[in-house]
Each structure stands twice: as C-alpha cells, then as structure tokens.
Amino acid sequence: MTNSFSSEKNKKIFFPKNPLNGSIPEELLEEIPCPLCGSFQKTKVYPKYYPRLVRCLSCGLIYTNPRLNKENLGQLYTKEYFQNDNSSIFGYQNYLADENKIRKTFARRLKTIEKIKKVGSLLDIGCAMGFFMDEAEKRGWKTKGIEISEFAATFAEKNLGLDVMRGNIQEVNLPQNSFDLVILWDVIEHLDNPLVCLKKIHLALKKDGLLVFSTPNISSIPAKLTRHRWVGYKLSDEHLTYFSPETISLLCQKTGFKVVKSHSLGKYVSLALFAARLSLYSKIAGKIFKFIDYFLPKKFNLYLSAFDIICVYAQKI
C-alpha cells in the first residue's frame, strides 16, 4: 500500500517508498533551524541513504531537514496510519488488532509509574485510540487526552467514552497547574516544535508534576551497530527528531524539567512481528523466528525490548 495523505484541496499526495531520499515535491518541504538550539549549522548523517537527515553541529541533535511543512505533517495521521502494510516505515500494521497486547503493555507501564507517582490526574498526549487512558481509568486515574488524528480520537470517544481534545498540543487550550502526570508514548519524536510543547506541558503540570515519555534512542547500541539500517529511522517524515540521553537532558533543562530516571522500554509483541523486524537486519534470523511462530498459538505474545527505546521520567522544577 502506498502511503498518502490529502491536502486541503483534496489532492492526493503519494509518498515514494523512501520519502527521505529527497523525492518529495519541494513545495511541500520547509527548511528549519535546529529544533533544540536554533542553530543553522548542520551536517548530513547518512547522505547516501537519508539525504535529509542531519546532525546539528552545535548541540548534536539529529533531525529531518528540510521536512514536510506543518500543514502536511498533520495529514499523515489518517486511518491509514493505524493500519497499513508498510509499518516498518509508516505507522502501524494494525493498531486495533493489537489492542490486547497494547493494553497489556500499558498496564505494565502504569504499575511502574505508580511506584513513584500516586494516582491522580493524567494527560495523555498522542493518546491514539485511548487504550492507555482506559487502562489508567480502571486504576483510578482521571484522564484527558490529546490526539491529532480525527479517526483515532473519534474511536476513543465513541467506543471508550474518553475525553479527548483534537489537534496539535500547540493548538489546544490546556488549563495551567492541572495535571499530576503527563504522558507521551512514542510522540515526542513526531512533534514539530518539542521545545514549545514541553514548555506548554510544564505550565499544565501541577507543582510536583511528572512528565513521562518514550522515544527511540539514537545513542543505543542497536542504533550504533545497525547504523542506517536501524528500524528507528522512519522514512515517511513521521519522525522529525532523533534524541539521545544528552539531547533529552538539554531539552528538559531548556523547558523547566529535571530528568530523575530513565531506562530502556519494551512492549508485548507477537513473534511474527518480532521476526518481521529482525528480518530487516538478518533475513536468515527472521525466517527462523517466522518458522517458530508457525507452530505457536495465534494469541501468543511476549514482552521484548530491543534496548533502543528510552523511557524518561522528568520532574517539573
């Protein structure tokens, strides 16, 4: 399936298989300074494979530049984003079909969070179909969500009865000093202006509020070993920034947060998905695990971590 989105004029824009190769029409792209420090000094990271992937020479942040303009970025998150056949480069294979595994993952994460933060009010930014919010409410949390996808927000409201605001976090009105906990699961790398967004989150959190987010770790061993083949590099302009522990620390310092804890993060997955991801690095290993999966029950899943996703706990200061 070809990745696509619609413009305001209802004209279909079709992404090539590898959009970062520079073949997106220039009129859809915008040149930006470093999203973290504002510098225009940069160098390309893997020019042969990703000509628009650059590293800031000032702060070290890796980001996409030029990138899709803000208007078209928001149109990536259609129903197609949550169900497509190219999930290694765009969105999810079938988010709804994986509901049980996603809920199981979120329940596990909530248990970890509740060891350091008591149940209270929670804001889930990029809440998708609302599975984390729903699991949190079962545990006593009072939740509110923000979701840019009309499709996902409607699902969360109609099927789960959740309170979801539509739009980009920069566009919605958030009450100040209102939340004990703000969550961004695999969201911060999608934000066009993470500095502005975290400053807004800082205002929305209560005095002792906690920010918890996850993101691909560009400094992880898998990322370093696999280099340009790392699955963390999304090829659809879906991921705009690629953080390391160092750039995360700088981001938090600039927005009024202090990192108090961080660790690698995993999730419950099917062996079939694990085999598909593994085949991106080793076709033989992927085939072996695919063969093993053939003999397992369809509902079989296991908790796995590739040690290339970092989970950060940041306290409001």
Q: DSSP for 115-172?
A: TTS-S-EEEEET-TTSHHHHHHHHTT-EEEEEES-HHHHHHHHHHH---EEES-TTTS
Write down the pLDDT at residue 4.
40
Q: pLDDT digits over 232-277, tens only? A: 887 667 899 999 999 999 999 999 999 999 999 999 988 777 777 6
Cα 256 from Cα 77, distance rounded (Å): 30
CA atoms within 13 A on the CB side of 148: 21
Query: Mean pLDDT, to the nearest integer, of 98-116?
Result: 97
Pairing of strands 142-147, 302-304: unpaired
Element (H, E) at 30: strand 29-30
Mean pLDDT, the chain, integer: 89
Write down the pLDDT at residue 236.
63
Closest CA to 196 of 140, 153, 256, 149: 256
pLDDT beyond 80 at 77: yes
- For 215, residues 6+ apart whose C-beta sits below 8 A from its C-beta are 186, 188, 189, 243, 248, 309, 310, 312
**Confidence label for 89 from pLDDT (cuts 50, 70 and 90):** confident
Is the CB of residue 167 less than 8 Å from the CB of residue 190?
Answer: no
**Confidence label for 95 from pLDDT (cuts 50, 70 and 90):** very high
Cα 63 from Cα 189, distance rounded (Å): 9
pLDDT beyond 70 at 8: no
**Confidence label for 75 from pLDDT (cuts 50, 70 and 90):** confident
Please indicate whether residue 247 or residue 292 has the higher confidence score (pLDDT).
247
Six token digits for residue 223: 């990322």
Cα 263 from Cα 251, distance rounded (Å): 17
Query: Mean pLDDT, to the nearest integer, of 271-300?
Result: 76
Its pTM stands at: 0.89
Query: Mean pLDDT, to the nearest integer, of 16-32?
Result: 69
Portion of the chain with pLDDT greater than 90, in percent? 69
DSSP assignment of 191-260: -S-HHHHHHHHHHHEEEEEEEEEEEEBTTSHHHHHHGGG-TTS-SSS---EEB-HHHHHHHHHHHTEEEE
CATH 3.30.1360.200 fits 90-316, yes or no: no
Is residue 305 packed enough to be buried (19+ CB in 10 Å), middle (13-18) or exposed (0-12)? Answer: exposed
Max alpha carbon distance in the chain (Å)? 53
Query: Mean pLDDT, to the nearest integer, of 292-304?
Result: 81
Is the CB of residue 310 less than 8 Å from the CB of residue 220?
Answer: yes
pLDDT beyond 80 at 289: no
**Confidence label for 199 from pLDDT (cuts 50, 70 and 90):** very high
Q: pLDDT digits over 117-168, tens only? A: 999 999 999 999 999 999 999 999 999 999 999 999 999 999 999 999 999 9
Cα 83 from Cα 96, distance rounded (Å): 8
Other Cβ atoms within 10 Å of 48 Cβ, number: 8
Q: pLDDT digits over 207-224, tens only? A: 999 999 999 999 999 999
